[in-house]
Amino acid sequence: MELLYDALGKPMDNPNIKVIHIAGTNGKGSVALKVAIALQSAGHDVGIVTSPHISSFRERIQINGRLISEDEVGEYLSQILRICDEQSIPATFFEITTALAFLYFSKKHTNVVVLETGLGGRLDATNVIKRPCLCIITSIGLEHTALLGDTVEKIAAEKAGIIKQDVPILVTANVPHDVIQQCAKEKGAEGYYTCNSVLKDEKDIPSTSRNRVECFDYDKENSRTAMAALKLLDMKSKETNGSSFIFFPITDDHIKQGISKRPICRFEERRYHASSLSEKKVAVNVILDIAHNPPAMRVLFRKLEATYPKQKKRLVIGFSAEKDLIKCAQIILSSVPDPSSIHLTEASNLRAAKLEAIFQAEPALKQSNYNTENRSVAVQVTSALQLALERNEVLVVCGSVFLMSEAREVLGIKEPRDSKQITNVAGSGLQKCKEKQLLLK
């Protein structure tokens, strides 16, 4: 990535581009979106880099809410792939995509970039930037343990690799502070800030009570983190007269606009309507949530209990192969103990967990609904929808981001999707990585 970044002219080193760098296990995408929207409302041209995408590769790279166009992907990606070939740079798919974003933002003269790490922090492709104006670390849990470490402390140290000298670091509550504080001290960070210290309150983990069920609310935590980040940016800007930070004032109205937004597939509630044989319209509540690791799943099922206490839940679920399948399965069965209410699927992605691996992790799931001849998401979503309609159940689609595009298509959700042209262009980079066995993201 260093080689590729240098070959592109180090586009993010431009002092006119202010970068906000975000790492963490859960919540970093939501925090990125909320911060980006607030800064856009304050008058900035804001680029945002997030991953993975839901329905279109182009979702990963946006300016002011506008997806990079197919023509722009083709133009800039071709340049990057040519550089990789000419200079024998063995870049991965995620590294190529990150370079594409950096080149695009530079060409479009974006003045603020909100940058989400892909995996970890220290060795992440996004960490080639040398001087962000703010670093943020959201909640940390056990994930990608083979690459990042087998304890929360080791993972936190990897995430803390984004901390830079003389740059402030904002950290949420759900992290091992001693580890990150030590990293901040060693790297000479400008200051170590928490949401409590910036917002000057003593609130603990955000929670909500509904139907007498107390549950953690990730969106409240993410909103609070985004609010603290924006207020910290505004404070630092005033201290330095905007020389190193964002120089447009960030008002409470701008912050309110940002934190009110919620990304899709984060406890996204939909109402699916279908016509019955009697020509009466029937409907089912559908929840789309990319909860994909044990901490996120615990929060999801607690919130389901609080939101729909009297309705049975029907699940369509699939996993990525690197997840803790045993713990995820245990959480699922503790909330939905009847396997006949569970539909297992296998996303058409190289990283999807095989049905056989899921059964090995939890043999009880052999009694669930699945189809070894046709493992597609569409088959199980269609079947689950029909049963949920007949039985007045809530349908929940969760477990992996890779399920969502196909599920959303079955539900009739209209949104940008990749044409054959963009699939071929983006896919050429993916194929290069696959051939070199370097695919990480």
pTM: 0.88
Find the distance separating the first CA and the last CA of the chain, reported in whole Å.
14
The encoded tokens of residue 168 equal 């402030």
Grade residue 257 by pLDDT with cuts at 50, 70 and 90.
very high
* pLDDT tens string 383-410: 999 999 999 999 999 988 889 999 999 9
pLDDT tens by residue, 57-100: 999 999 999 999 999 998 999 999 999 999 999 999 999 999 99
Please report the pLDDT score of residue 351 as a whole number: 81
- Compute the mean pLDDT over every residue in the chain, rounded to the nearest whole number: 88
Confidence of residue 433 (pLDDT cuts 50, 70, 90): very low
Residues forming CATH 3.40.1190.10 domain(s) in the chain: 2-263+423-436
Pick 250 or 171 by higher pLDDT. Answer: 171
Residue 136 clears pLDDT 80, i.e. is over it: yes
Three-state SS sequence of the chain: CHHHHHHCCCHHHCCCCEEEEEECCECHHHHHHHHHHHHHHCCCCEEEECCCCCCCHHHHEEECCEECCHHHHHHHHHHHHHHHHHCCCCCCHHHHHHHHHHHHHHHCCCCEEEEECCCCCCCCHHHHCCCCCEEEECECCCCCHHHHCCCHHHHHHHHHHHCCCCCCEEECCCCCHHHHHHHHHHHCCCCEEEHHHHHCCCCCCCEEEECCEEEECHHHHHHHHHHHHHHHHHHHHHHHCCCCCCCCCCCHHHHHHHHCCCCCCCCEEEEEEEECCCCCEEEEEEEECCCCCHHHHHHHHHHHHHHCCCCCEEEEECCECCCCHHHHHHHHHHHCCCHHHEEECCCCCCCECCHHHHHHHCHHHHHCECCCCCCCHHHHHHHHHHHHHHHCCEEEEECCHHHHHHHHHHCCCCCCCCCHHHHHHHHHHHHHHHHHCCCCC
Average pLDDT over residues 20-44: 94
Predicted pLDDT at 17: 93
pLDDT band at 321 (very low <50, low <70, confident <90, very high): confident
Domain with CATH 3.90.190.20 in the chain: 268-410
138-167 mean pLDDT: 85
CATH of domain 2-263+423-436: 3.40.1190.10
Q: In this model, does residue 258 exceed pLDDT 60? A: yes
> What pLDDT was estimated at residue 440?
32
Distance separating alpha carbons of residues 439 and 47, to the nearest angstrom: 25
pLDDT band, residue 434 (cuts 50/70/90): very low
**Cα separation, 303 vs 313, whole angstroms:** 12
Give residue-wise pLDDT tens across range 341-371: 999 999 877 788 999 999 999 999 999 999 9
| φ and ψ at residue 62, rounded to 5 degrees | -140, 150
Q: How far apart are CA 70 and CA 61, in angstroms?
A: 11
Check pLDDT > 50 for residue 37.
yes
Report the CATH fold assignment for 268-410.
Answer: Protein-Tyrosine Phosphatase; Chain A (3.90.190)
pLDDT at 244: 60
Give the whole-angstrom CA distance, residue 30 versus residue 53.
13
CA 296 – CA 294 distance, rounded (Å) = 6
The span from the CA of 172 to the CA of 226, in Å, is 10
**Does residue 242 surpass a pLDDT of 90?**
no
Phi, psi angles (nearest 5°) of residue 171: -130, 135
Pick from 32-46, 321-335, 336-350, 418-432 the range whose average pLDDT is largest: 32-46
| Rounded Cα–Cα distance for residues 78 and 23 (Å) | 29
Low-confidence winner among 189-193, 208-212, 300-304 (lowest mean pLDDT): 208-212
